[in-house]
Structure 1
């Protein structure tokens, strides 16, 4: 009976040491993750890309308005004048 109790005590101690060791490992990894500054510029890049997309859309929209309002009617009129030549 003494050996049985001793075995249970040893297993309990091993389990305690294992849990304690893993808790320290997890704590260390968590500290490293919080102190890691490698991904710090990711938000800056995302904002820059978003601003670039918005500015590009505005520029394309402006060019479309210029082309559809000024250039296309002029081209259409010139094409009609070419085919209605009375020469």
Structure 2
């Protein structure tokens, strides 16, 4: 096992994932699913390195959704990504 400067960060992420899984199990919620940022950007704009402005513009041009800020645009695209992935709506 190679322990480098990222070991601490990796351990913290693993702990967080464990806590998330436990909470979901206790509350009888579905297991959380994660999406890679570049995959989301590619889905939204066709470019995995799209900027925040590109994400906002894509929501406007493709769906006439006018996000108030980049966080709202990201939430919109995460929703659309999972609807597409799991064939919802």
Higher RCO, 1 or 2 (CA under 8 Å, sep at least 6)? Answer: 2
